[in-house]
Amino acid sequence: MAKVAFIGLGVMGYPMAGHLRVKGGHEVTVYNRTAAKAQAWAAQFGGRAAATPRAAAEGQDMVFACVGNDDDLRQVTIGADGAFAGMAKGAIFVDHTTASADVARELHGAASAAGFGFIDAPVSGGQAGAENGVLTVMCGGDAPVYEKAEPVIAAFARACRLMGPSGAGQLTKMVNQICIGGLVQALSEGVHFAQKAGLDVEAVIEVISKGAAQSWQMENRHRTMNEGKFDFGFAVDWMRKDLSICLEEARRNGAQLPVTALVDQFYAEVQKLGGGRWDTSSLLARLK
């Protein structure tokens, strides 16, 4: 059993922190910007709510975070009353935010200089994965630090792997998002075409999902897409944040991402339709 803190009790962080308490059996302190959520978590799971990230981090073996973007992450780590000021020497900070590889390296550098570890550890598996404690966690950082962190992360992970040095977790998550973008557009076009052709979309998917066209998106989203419902998971606003991180990194490393860039613009159109909070399968909505 470890002493841990969790910063950022959103859709992902709230259940992840819960698994640390219930499944991991750890002593958990939480911090959330909107304090009421931290109070509710503490009442539900039996932990302590701290007033600042710094206070949450003090005296902990490990501190987790899952906030929005690079700026949010900087704010809760190196900002005023940020967690880094409270970290004990030898402790470990694990960041589950989907952020840039740059900010991961920057914070890893700051952590190393102050004598504690930093692992970038973005996740895949969505809200359901967080609630069921079966996330995939892609990590970057130093091997000895990772080896200590992995058994604690296991409370909410089905798979967890060190991908390389600091930033490698975020780079791996970028690959994940690049693969999803083009695939969801192709699935949207397939469903759209089937509808226009007057086919029974359910029957079409039942047949083709047993063959080479099969995908997680197809299995889990085709029914709601066919019904024009787009309220089932990862939001377009978040996806655009992630794709902009991918495109920025590609500008630097020279990778060519023509379909990803196009799909990013399609998502911008979905936002203009008022779909910023719709799930990512709403690429279908702009075809109509």
Assess 176 for contact with ligand NAP (CB under 6 A): no
How far apart are CB 275 and ligand NAP at their closest, in Å? 16
Kindly tell me which of 58 and 279 has the beta carbon lying closer to ligand NAP: 279
Total of chain residues touching ligand NAP, rule CB under 6 A: 24
The runs of H, that is alpha helices, within 46-100 are: 53-57, 70-77
Q: Which stretch binds ligand NAP (CB under 6 A): 66-74, 158-166, 206-214, 266-274?
A: 66-74
Build a one-symbol-per-residue string for 183-222: x at contacts with ligand NAP by CB under 6 A, - elsewhere: ----------------------------------------
Cα 21 to chain centroid distance, Å, stands at 20
Site for ligand NAP (CB under 6 A): which residue of 29, 32, 172, 281?
A: 32
Is residue 229 flagged as an active site residue? Answer: no
Kindly tell me which of 68 and 276 has the beta carbon lying closer to ligand NAP: 68
160 close to 154: Cβ distance less than 8 angstroms? yes
Assess 276 for contact with ligand NAP (CB under 6 A): no
Instruction: Map tokens 């992995």 to a residue.
Output: 150
Assess 13 for contact with ligand NAP (CB under 6 A): yes
Q: How far apart are CA 134 and CA 1, in angstroms?
A: 20
261 close to 247: Cβ distance less than 8 angstroms? yes
How far apart are CB 72 and ligand NAP at their closest, in Å? 3
Site for ligand NAP (CB under 6 A): which residue of 76, 94, 270, 283?
A: 76
Copy the structure tokens of residue 230: 């787009």
Q: Which of residues 91-120 bind ligand NAP (CB under 6 A)?
A: 97-98
Q: Which of 173, 210, 241, 272 is catalytic?
A: 173
67 close to 76: Cβ distance less than 8 angstroms? yes
Assess 40 for contact with ligand NAP (CB under 6 A): no
Assess 126 for contact with ligand NAP (CB under 6 A): yes
Long-range contacts of range 102-110, CB-CB < 8 Å, 24 or more positions apart? 102/70, 102/167, 103/70, 103/73, 103/74, 104/140, 104/166, 104/167, 104/169, 104/170, 105/166, 105/167, 107/73, 107/74, 107/77, 107/78, 108/141, 108/166, 108/167, 110/77, 110/78, 110/84
Cα 180 to chain centroid distance, Å, stands at 14
Positions touching ligand NAP (CB under 6 A) are 8-13, 32-34, 37, 66-68, 72, 75-76, 97-98, 123, 126-127, 233-234, 238
Catalytic residues: 173
